[in-house]
Structure 1
Amino acid sequence: MVGLMASNMKRKFEKYWENMDNQNMLLYVGIVLDPRYKMRYLDFGLRKMYAYDQSKIIDMSWKVKNAFIRMYEAYIQNEEGSSPQRTSSPREDASPSTTQSTNRHAALMAQFKQELQSEDSLESRSEVDRYLAEKCEDEGDNFDLLNWWKVNSVRYRILSKVARDVLAIPVSTVASESTFSTAGRVLDPFRSSLNPMMVEALICAQNWLRSSSTPISLRTLMDEVEEFEKQIDMGELVGELAYSAEGSNEMATES
């Protein structure tokens, strides 16, 4: 029984982690967005995991960083698309006239402004490089990851938005009815009203039934439970009627 459970767990693990193509890069991006770890901790972990294959370490590290940069660039494009576009007047060719010096000065100033805009754009696109180049934060029990990004949102205007969205994603979710793996994921009134003691009893009974060769029909068992409850309710009703009848007889005898 334990061996079968271990085999199923290993198969489930390999489904998500054995092949790098099946792995969700957001799990690794979340590590990179932690200022205590960044790419340095990821590379360290990859060297420990794939010490037997250097090419896999390089490939995985490149995939994670590439996914990180592509997410950042997508957020930049979204910001630029939502902001109003700046329109600039077309440059006029210099012509020999009395305003030639004025046009030349205007053309130089336009080129200067374009260069400033280009520098500002390059600076904003280097948030990833600046973030990864800085030293990692010290590990501490009171370190608040979300608060760190909130405080540093002025320095990393775009990257903080990436962190806000990525770190808000739960790593995994487990449905409450997964405990009852005999049937499908069906949440009925019986399961929603179970107390811890009854859940433990059902799990033990499930293990006992699985150890036998008798096939399990959950629907049949549930129908039997319903029928049993009806019999109990009917018995209680008959008991109440009998008690009422007995009381009526006693009152009639006394009168």
Structure 2
Amino acid sequence: MFVRRSKSHREKFKECIEKVGGVDSSVRLHLDMSMRVNSTYLMLQSALKYQLAFESLHLYDDGYDSCPAAEEWKRVEKICAFLLPFSETANTINGATHRTSNLYFLQVWKVQCVLVDNLGDEDEDIKRMVERMLTKFEKYWEEYSVVLALGAVLDPRIKLSTLAYCYSKLNASTCERKLQQVKSKLYMLFHKNSCKSTSSGVQRTIQDQSSSVPLQKKLKSLSQGLFDELKVHQRQLVTETEKSQLDVYLDESNLDFHCYEDMDVLQWWKRNNNRFPDLSILACDLLSFPITTVASDFEFCMGSRVFNKYKDRMLPNNVETRICTRTWLHNFVGNDGVDDGDDDDGDFEETMKKVDGDVQTEQASTDFDFEDDN
């Protein structure tokens, strides 16, 4: 906050970086924001990169007297390492291209594992922080949502085997009970939503289609007809073994995370719709649950970049003008690819001087009207 307080402070800090040398200045300094989950981690991470500059800043700026001590820098490193998984989780959920509900279970499980593992930390401050965080976590996630677990099972990379591992790592005594609960709910939903078709019905459909096709097209599609017959045979085998689409899906081996790390699960079910026609409909219904409100939160945070307590009575047209100008200038993204919501761009304020001049004129007339009304 001291460095970003004024232009003169920023220039002296830049001079300090050049004189000290060996400082990675590719990442800009971030400020902590209460509306951002991972802003504390970004703040500490950026501060650590400029540690050498902060330790020498008092030589170039007489007003700087708040450099952390050596023990405080060590604590910053420990807290930064502790917050790293939370930052990765926030980026995964907020920045994922395919925000389907299968992502949520693993992220919530990962957060709980980090909290449980750090309950016995040697640092008393970190230990107390973890205890408070775990209390809030258990308030909302004392019992994992079954719907989110179902979404994880319908991810071909996870299924029941990975779910069992997640449950057992947290509490082996309740693993089997939770797994059976998820499994029974999944089968209940599948049987309720599936449309059973008999092999005779499939054969009748194929015969009806073939009877309505002209003779020439029948001859051209003879090979396709043979494949259709094989498809019917495979369905008969499934019926005879009394295996449903869900049974076949769960019996197949999981896809490798290394090869399918960025897989679009909905696209996978679309490609396998012919194999699992009924199950794919259920999968799309469960996976389509929204897992984040990042869009509305992002717009709210953008508002904090443009407005402050002195500009909260602007006219609607001027509000729209400032937001549009901000968008054109910065495209919602900072220099390092992360929009941290910091209002440190002097160029933006200079660009908006003309707009502010119009705002003051119109605002004065508006205030006058308010006083008359009062």
With normalisation by structure 1, the TM-score equals 0.48
- Which structure is larger by alpha-carbon Rg, 1 or 2? 1
TM normalised by structure 2 equals: 0.34
